[in-house]
Amino acid sequence: MIDLSQHFTRPDWVRRTNAMGDSVLGARRLVPLDVDALVAQAQDATGLDDFGDLDGDWCTRLHGLVAAIEETARLHTVGRLMTRQELLRCLISRLLLTKRLRERPVIAEERIEAPIVIAGPARSGTSILHELLWLDPEARSPLAYESLYPVPPEALRGDRHREVAECEQELWSDVQPEFATIHELAAHLPMECIALRQPSFAGFHWSMVAEIPGFAPDFPAAMAYHRAALQSLQHGAPQKTWVLKTPVYLMMLDLLFATYPDAAVVVTHRDPVKTLPSGFSTLATVRWLRSDHVQLEGTDGTGAGLLLLGLLQREQAGELPGPVHHIRFADLMSEPAGAIEELYDQLGRPFTPAYADRIRDYLANKPKGKFGAHRYTPEDWDMETTRIRELMKPYMDYYEVPEER
């Protein structure tokens, strides 16, 4: 078993807060996760009682999720507080979105037209590509504060909406400072789609933040909620191309195209010797935010690699459910504007000099390693460079992915 205490040191405020749970002989006594109480509190906070059914039986999923958390996640005090806040915020968000959809049935007619969907593996440049595509004046992405509350409560309208979103976005790096070296979360930045799907209690977010093998994501339900939330955000706004992103889309390409038939999928490619251990390190860090008992010995970290090999096999066999385009991390890093111009040529979208300037200006103000370096090797996470090279050689050869030293 990998001992994460050898990788990370708890900030004093986190260590002391967690000890408050120990002082009452269990964090669950201090921060309960009772579904009925959470539902009642969400209804009391909003004065609403209709949670909607556009994604099926959300209540059964919520009960199953909380039961799985209590059974295996072993959350500490801060972890339970973070999770309780997310659950309650998701319930409130459901109530508010349902109210808007009931009041404006025309929202259901909104068409999410030809979205650009980034579906590369974790740690392969998906986040920076997401941000750079968002800079296109003719595109938009769900921003973090919009993803948390697609329909904000009256008390959070205007600037307060963004300010309050910081409690979830920037708190992660407060709980574990090393997280900032891995991924920047900020209320004003584009957010990957697992956040928008949280209130379905069906998406991958919950399996990412906690060790809950007894909970199975329901991807169709999660996508049904995702589409409704996007439709609500789009309604009444200028028509632009959505740029969406999450590595989880690699797991559900067929469902993605069934939901958005004219989507253009973009897969980022990077040396798996970098992406696989980095993704493993990221998962460990995210779970360490909420628990002192992170057990990753049940996997060797090659899951994302197997997904890429599956993508390769389907592409070679001509069995992909829709158009998939490709961009290499090395090209994106060496000449960002040029790499995106080539991608736009594949997508049939105009690429203007003004957009190229926006890309260069943005990167000049966001240098690589802004929050420090995310340092790791495969061996740090009980992985073998030689084995990764052997396993992923067909992938690297086919997509001409350069090795990184």
The three-class DSSP label of residue 217 is coil
Residue 404, domain member (yes or no): no
Residue 161, domain member (yes or no): yes
101-160 confidence digits (pLDDT tens):
999 999 999 999 999 999 999 889 999 999 999 999 999 999 999 999 999 999 888 888
266-290 confidence digits (pLDDT tens):
999 999 999 988 888 888 889 999 9
pLDDT higher than 80, residue 217: yes
* Full residue range of the structural domain in which residue 102 is found: 4-398
| 9: confidence class by pLDDT, cuts 50, 70, 90 | confident
Residues of the chain by 3-state class (helix, strand, coil), percent to 5: 60, 5, 35
Residue 209, domain member (yes or no): yes
pLDDT higher than 80, residue 372: no
Domain containing 108 — which CATH number? 3.40.50.300
Structure tokens belonging to residue 55: 């994604």
pLDDT higher than 90, residue 1: no
Round to whole Å and give the CA distance between 118 and 131: 11
Structure tokens belonging to residue 359: 């890309």
Q: Which range is least confidently modeled, 10-19, 66-75, 96-105, 374-383?
A: 374-383
Alpha helix ranges (H) inside 236-384: 253-259, 272-288, 303-316, 329-334, 336-347, 353-364
Burial 150-171 (b: 16+ CB within 10 A, else e): bbbbeebeeeebbebbeebbeb
Round to whole Å and give the CA distance between 340 and 333: 11
Q: In one letter, which amino acid is 7? A: H
Q: Which range is least confidently modeled, 33-42, 157-166, 188-197?
A: 157-166
Round to whole Å and give the CA distance between 258 and 273: 33
Alpha helix ranges (H) inside 69-151: 77-103, 126-134, 144-148
pLDDT higher than 80, residue 368: no
When comparing pLDDT for 374 and 7, which is higher? 7
| The predicted structure's pLDDT at residue 405 | 80
pLDDT higher than 90, residue 55: yes
Q: What single DSSP character describes residue 248?
A: G
Q: Which range is least confidently modeled, 54-68, 185-199, 293-307?
A: 293-307
Residue 405, domain member (yes or no): no
| The predicted structure's pLDDT at residue 373 | 56
Residue 373, domain member (yes or no): yes
| The predicted structure's pLDDT at residue 375 | 62
The total domain count for the chain is 1
Q: Are 86 and 226 in contact, with CB atoms under 8 Å apart?
A: no
Q: Which residues lie below 8 Å from residue 394, measured CB to CB, with a gap of 6+?
A: 309, 312
pLDDT higher than 70, residue 311: yes
| The predicted structure's pLDDT at residue 281 | 83
